[in-house]
A and B are shown apart, each in its own frame.
Chain A
Amino acid sequence: MIILGIPKIKKKQNLKFKQDYKTYYPIVYKHLYYLSGSNEIAEDLTQDVFIKYLDYVDKNIEYPGAWLSKVATNVAMNYFRSHKRREIREMNIFLDTQTLFMVEDQIYRLDEIRLVRKVLSQLNENQRMCLLLKFSGYSYDEINEITQIPRNNIGKTIARGKEKFMKLYREVGEEHVS
């Protein structure tokens, strides 16, 4: 039985999904890496994003890049809401069981990643979004579609965002070291 508008059986895998998967997998992965700071989390969440996309690929989404970006952000938000305390506990366990030189390397890497994310969090929302999306690989048209920032303003927002990022990184980095 098929309820109106509720297909019980999905359509077969199609060419569009394959093409979008190939094009956007690295972009979505980077986006999620920037949000999470972890390759493992980024890889898992990227899979989740494309699983969701399976449900929509035959709905002719006009801007798949923008759609995938919004879903990626939501997926990341939901993940951190439900996992943040568990993640802290797991990280402590991880640090306890590693050998010393591996721990030092991991601490350094984690610290650097945290530092970058802290700096990003201190930018205003438009600058942060533009930098995240640009370095993920989205085009200006896609950034405009996702953020509603006028296309003519995106270049300036990115330039100013980078300037502020570097200034904050230097300031926060100096405090971090001292």
Chain B
Amino acid sequence: MCLNESELQEIIDHNYRGNLKEALDHIEACSECKKLFLQLKTKDEFVSKLMNDGMHLPPQPVLTKEWDLNEESQTIWGLNFMKTINIKWKATAAVALVGLMLMTEPVQVAADSFLKLFRMQELETVSITEADIHELDYMMGHGDGEVSIENIGKFEFSTDGEEFFNDDPKDFTDITDKFPDMKVIKNAKHMNLDYLSMVPKSTVRFTLDVESTNEILVYLGSDNMLPESLHEKTFEMTTDEFVNYTMIESGKKENNMEGRLNVTIMGEPQLGMPKDVNAKDVVNALANSGLIPSEIKRQLIGFDRLESIIPIPYSEESQIRTEKTINGYKTIIIEDKDDDEAYGTYTTAYLKVDSYFYIMSGENLNKDTLIELIEEME
């Protein structure tokens, strides 16, 4: 029986799970399969040669005394997420800071476990600066040893199904058939649909270990503890199935780069908290605990209904935040301050239309072009 392209590629990559001898015998005997196999192999070699061009794999450094694990080492937890400003919303909300996680994770839990369910319906920006990152560094630098998320609480992540994707879509039918209320950009001039995917419903569950967390706070020199009532309480975030698609501009710009638009569309996430937990109390406890940089604390406490807000982190130092009304919808636009033509420009717009949030990221598309595309959504 003839082998398909995927199977032949698996054989080339030494990852074929079928009977390899039978497959190879068939390839040898079948002119069609042999031709396709050789084509794939040639392409493999060509791409490998190009990708490895210039690469010089050095001799592996010998493991010396410095690699002995006798040394005290320090890991700054969460810092990678703090420094990586341009991260997806769900990763930010889930992990960036315990405070943000607890306060902004939309959660859906079984109705008999939770009294309060919140729909996160509003977008607000939270400015994160290098100073905030240094402050977090400093706080963590007071202690020795390792502080890991495992010592604060437990995160669990689950999805309901597998991601669907189409890497050669002709139109938006895959989306509009399933989500007729979602708006898409059907008639964008000079932009062609390149890729789309649907991510299944997913849940992030976080259970706080107050005892361990308070021990860390003591270790770090804090006088303020988290309330015992939060111990082993579970907070969850659930997002319904959401959609991603990418459009590419036809034709290149002067810097020889294409314009790309990446769009994520998601429903209102749900937040639920234990019935005996008061949202404001949690914010105050975390704000005073020393776990959150002071400037971020100030912004969180300033929100009236924190449990209904989705935070959008941005860097005041390298990005500009503006707000506009487009087709009657409040839109927050974050763009890089320095346009770097060698590496491309990045602008992202966040807006809510009816019950869906839209996150639209433009690469090598200026703000005006991005706004025009948003105006064309239908």
Q: Which of B8-16, B268-276, B279-287 contacts A (4 or more CB under 8 A)?
A: B8-16
B70 at the interface (CB under 8 A from A): yes
A148 at the interface (CB under 8 A from B): yes
Whole-angstrom distance between the alpha carbons of A147 and B378 in the complex?
Answer: 32
Q: Judging by beta carbons under 8 Å apart, are A8 and B144 in contact?
A: yes
A37 at the interface (CB under 8 A from B): yes
Contact A175:B252 (CB < 8 A) given known A9-B70, A135-B47, A160-B167: yes
CB-contacts of A8-34 with B (<8 A): 8-14, 18, 21-22, 25-26, 29-30, 33-34
CB-contacts of A119-158 with B (<8 A): 120, 122, 124-127, 131, 134-135, 139-141, 148-150, 152-158
Q: Judging by beta carbons under 8 Å apart, are B53 and A134 in contact?
A: no
Measured CB to CB, the nearest residue on chain B to A131 is B47
Contact A3:B219 (CB < 8 A) given known A22-B60, A74-B80, A126-B165: yes
Q: 0/1 per residue, A49-67, Cβ < 8 Å to B?
A: 0001011000000000000
A93 at the interface (CB under 8 A from B): no
Whole-angstrom distance between the alpha carbons of A165 and B147 in the complex?
Answer: 43
A177 at the interface (CB under 8 A from B): no
CB-contacts of B165-204 with A (<8 A): 165, 167, 194-195
B44 at the interface (CB under 8 A from A): yes
Min C-beta distance of A43 to chain B, whole Å: 6
A84 at the interface (CB under 8 A from B): yes
Q: Which of B61-69, B299-307, B350-358 contacts A (4 or more CB under 8 A)?
A: B61-69
B229 at the interface (CB under 8 A from A): no
Min C-beta distance of A62 to chain B, whole Å: 15
Measured CB to CB, the nearest residue on chain A to B85 is A81
Whole-angstrom distance between the alpha carbons of A54 and B246 in the complex?
Answer: 38
Measured CB to CB, the nearest residue on chain B to A42 is B55
Q: Judging by beta carbons under 8 Å apart, are A10 and B70 in contact?
A: yes
B110 at the interface (CB under 8 A from A): no
CB-contacts of B217-275 with A (<8 A): 219, 246, 248, 252, 256-258
Whole-angstrom distance between the alpha carbons of A157 and B5 in the complex?
Answer: 10
Residue in B6, B257, B340 with the greatest tally of chain A CB atoms within 10 Å:
B6
Whole-angstrom distance between the alpha carbons of A11 and B143 in the complex?
Answer: 19
B51 at the interface (CB under 8 A from A): yes
B28 at the interface (CB under 8 A from A): no
Chain A interface: which size bin?
35 or more
Q: Judging by beta carbons under 8 Å apart, are B58 and A43 in contact?
A: yes
Neighbour of A21 across the interface among B47, B48, B57, B60, CB < 8 A: B60
Q: Judging by beta carbons under 8 Å apart, are B80 and A159 in contact?
A: no
Q: Judging by beta carbons under 8 Å apart, are A9 and B72 in contact?
A: yes
Contact A81:B84 (CB < 8 A) given known A3-B216, A30-B55: yes
Min C-beta distance of A17 to chain B, whole Å: 8
Q: 0/1 per residue, B1-41, Cβ < 8 Å to A?
A: 00001111110010100000000000000000000000010
B43 at the interface (CB under 8 A from A): yes
Residues on B with C-beta less than 8 A from A139 are: 15
Measured CB to CB, the nearest residue on chain A to B152 is A5
A113 at the interface (CB under 8 A from B): yes
Measured CB to CB, the nearest residue on chain B to A120 is B51
Q: Judging by beta carbons under 8 Å apart, are B54 and A112 in contact?
A: yes
Residues on A with C-beta less than 8 A from B167 are: 124, 126-127, 157, 160
Q: Judging by beta carbons under 8 Å apart, are A152 and B72 in contact?
A: no
Whole-angstrom distance between the alpha carbons of A18 and B55 in the complex?
Answer: 24
Q: Judging by beta carbons under 8 Å apart, are B68 and A12 in contact?
A: yes
CB-contacts of B137-166 with A (<8 A): 143-148, 150-151, 162-163, 165
Q: Judging by beta carbons under 8 Å apart, are B51 and A7 in contact?
A: no
Residues on B with C-beta less than 8 A from A172 are: 256
Q: Judging by beta carbons under 8 Å apart, are B195 and A124 in contact?
A: yes
Min C-beta distance of B325 to chain A, whole Å: 31
Whole-angstrom distance between the alpha carbons of A6 and B148 in the complex?
Answer: 8
Contact A169:B146 (CB < 8 A) given known A3-B215, A47-B61: no
Min C-beta distance of A151 to chain B, whole Å: 9
Q: Judging by beta carbons under 8 Å apart, are B84 and A39 in contact?
A: no
Q: A8-B72, A84-B340, A176-B256 are in contact. List 9 more A-B contacts (CB 8 A).
A: A3-B219, A4-B151, A4-B212, A113-B53, A116-B50, A139-B15, A153-B6, A158-B9, A165-B47
Q: 8 A-B pairs, CB-CB below 8 angstroms?
A: A5-B212, A10-B72, A13-B69, A18-B63, A54-B73, A109-B54, A113-B54, A154-B10
